[in-house]
């Protein structure tokens, strides 16, 4: 057993809950804490970028700064800008029958929340839900991924600079500890990871009736309309797909292209790789696959498709794969059989199936015949058709004429639907997820309800007839 797996999680939860009950963080305290977290994160982000690169074997520093740095700072700034307003009680108009009573909604912290974060964006996906939970006035227990041990340890040290353990505790450990963590009676449990593990987390939380937010995955499709510029579509899809070497939950997982434009799309993808990654094995801008097991899995997906007769194209060529450095070259699979694993499983790597279609209605039907995706991408310059396509597909989120960018919008809620997840966060959606919207009614000195109490009279008969007609 790992030394971390022996941690008394129950005792820690009791201490955090007692501390929260004794001194629930005020809005002013939350603002100060978020400001302190911002300063520490900014000061130590070079260390975090180095730790992430070491954990992956090689990770683009610029991508780390953008996806795990800028996005978190942006979220903190957005929370601090709006928190005072969001936290104020909101008065509501009582239904006329209950006048002159008045009502309001109070936004109250839940207590102690648990967060289980993944390895692929180990800072972003740990800290953005944590920022939401802190902004809402909660205490937090964070379980980061064991697959990025250096980053997780540094996160623990960084958070300890800002918060005492009774407010924010970072728990390091493997799957056994994660299972015990998910079974704790939190006031809310937030999980980011695969759909398979998400089911286990939900099952572990169920005996305690712990509410859960599940940020899962799935196969996020892209559709290119017949008359959309293929060069632009290929460039933007490639950028979204190759970010973090495809190890992104909302990376485009397959693309639907008009039949007569598949070859052009392949050539534009080839040109993009040649232009942006001219020396794939040595460039610091292309991220390695996180561990050997995942690297082998990606090769297995491509090999199965090749053996089944699909055309498999590695860019720039097969020699670009480097198992020692876990460099997996961008790979296209042309018209794979839908029964193949590459079309059934979330890829989570730089493999992109390219599927031809004759009519755009066929592309929509192909998407809708599969589980609802976490993200959907549509490339189109016809506004009316774009609206029709977007209305036809239910997804966790949508970006039109680009990929991934909707996740970086603080004003937009982020979350899945169906097997791609439940619940939302980012911005006000995150604040609400970690808050109880508590309704309060203030009765007046005189109430019309006194007319509707036994013994019921003819007046009560008249009133009930009027109200139920």
- pLDDT for 339-398, tens place per residue? 999 999 999 999 999 999 999 999 999 999 999 999 999 999 999 999 999 999 999 999
Instruction: Write down the mean pLDDT value for the chain.
Output: 95
Q: Which residue has the tokens 């064991």?
A: 146
CA distance 453 to 411: 47
Using 50, 70 and 90 to split pLDDT, how confident is the model at 451? confident
Parallel, antiparallel or unpaired: strands 102-109 and 435-442: antiparallel
- Supply the pLDDT for residue 99: 87
Contact 295, 363 (CB under 8 A): no
- Supply the pLDDT for residue 98: 87
Using 50, 70 and 90 to split pLDDT, how confident is the model at 458? confident
pLDDT in tens, 218-236: 899 999 999 999 999 999 9
Mean pLDDT calculated for residue range 386-412: 97
Q: Which domains does the chain have, with CATH numbers?
A: 3-216+418-438 (3.40.605.10), 220-408 (3.40.309.10)
**Burial class for 95, CB neighbours closer than 10 Å (0-12, 13-18, 19+):** exposed
Residues forming the active site: 215, 249
CA distance 192 to 113: 14
CA distance 40 to 48: 11
1 has pLDDT over 50 = no
pTM of whole model > 0.85? yes
CA distance 35 to 162: 10
């Amino acid at each position: 057993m790992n030394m971390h797996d022996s941690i008394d999680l129950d005792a820690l939860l009791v201490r955090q809950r007692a501390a929260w009950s004794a001194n629930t963080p005020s809005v002013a305290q939350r603002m100060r804490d978020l400001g302190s977290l911002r300063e520490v994160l900014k000061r130590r982000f070079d260390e975090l970028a180095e730790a992430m690169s070491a954990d992956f074997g090689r990770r683009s520093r610029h991508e780390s700064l953008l996806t795990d740095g800028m996005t978190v700072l942006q979220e903190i700034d957005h929370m601090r800008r709006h928190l005072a307003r969001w936290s104020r009680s909101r008065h509501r108009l009582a239904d006329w029958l209950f006048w002159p009573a008045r009502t309001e909604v109070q936004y109250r912290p839940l207590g102690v929340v648990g967060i289980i974060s993944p390895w692929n964006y180990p800072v972003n996906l740990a800290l953005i839900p944590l920022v939401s939970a802190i902004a809402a006035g909660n205490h937090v227990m964070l379980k980061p991924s064991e697959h990025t041990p250096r980053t997780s340890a540094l996160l623990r040290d960084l958070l300890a600079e800002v918060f005492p353990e009774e407010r924010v505790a970072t728990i390091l450990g493997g799957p056994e500890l994660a299972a015990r963590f998910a079974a704790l009676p939190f006031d809310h449990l937030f999980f980011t990871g695969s759909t398979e593990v998400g089911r286990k987390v939900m099952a572990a939380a169920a005996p305690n009736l712990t509410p859960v937010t599940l940020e899962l995955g799935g196969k996020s499709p892209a559709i290119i309309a017949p008359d959309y510029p293929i060069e632009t579509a290929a460039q933007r899809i490639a950028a979204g797909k190759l970010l973090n070497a495809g190890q992104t939950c909302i990376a485009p997982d397959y693309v639907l292209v008009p039949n007569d434009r598949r070859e052009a799309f392949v050539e534009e993808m080839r040109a993009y790789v040649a232009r942006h990654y001219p020396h794939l094995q040595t460039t610091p801008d292309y991220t390695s696959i996180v561990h050997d097991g995942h690297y082998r899995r990606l090769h297995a997906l491509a090999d199965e498709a090749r053996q089944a007769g699909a055309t498999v194209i590695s860019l720039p060529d097969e020699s670009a794969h480097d198992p020692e450095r876990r460099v997996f070259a961008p790979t296209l699979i042309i018209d794979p059989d839908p029964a193949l694993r590459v079309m059934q499983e979330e890829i989570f790597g730089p493999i992109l199936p390219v599927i031809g279609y004759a009519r755009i209605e066929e592309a929509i039907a192909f998407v809708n015949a599969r589980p609802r995706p976490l993200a959907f991408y549509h490339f189109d310059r016809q506004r009316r058709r774009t609206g029709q396509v977007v209305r036809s597909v239910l997804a966790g989120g949508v970006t039109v004429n680009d990929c991934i960018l909707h996740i970086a919008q603080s004003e937009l809620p982020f979350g899945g639907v169906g097997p791609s997840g439940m619940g939302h966060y980012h911005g006000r959606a995150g604040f609400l997820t970690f808050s109880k919207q508590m309704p309060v009614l203030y009765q007046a000195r005189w109430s019309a309800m006194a007319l509707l109490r036994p013994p019921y009279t003819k007046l009560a008969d008249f009133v009930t007839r009027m109200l139920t007609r």
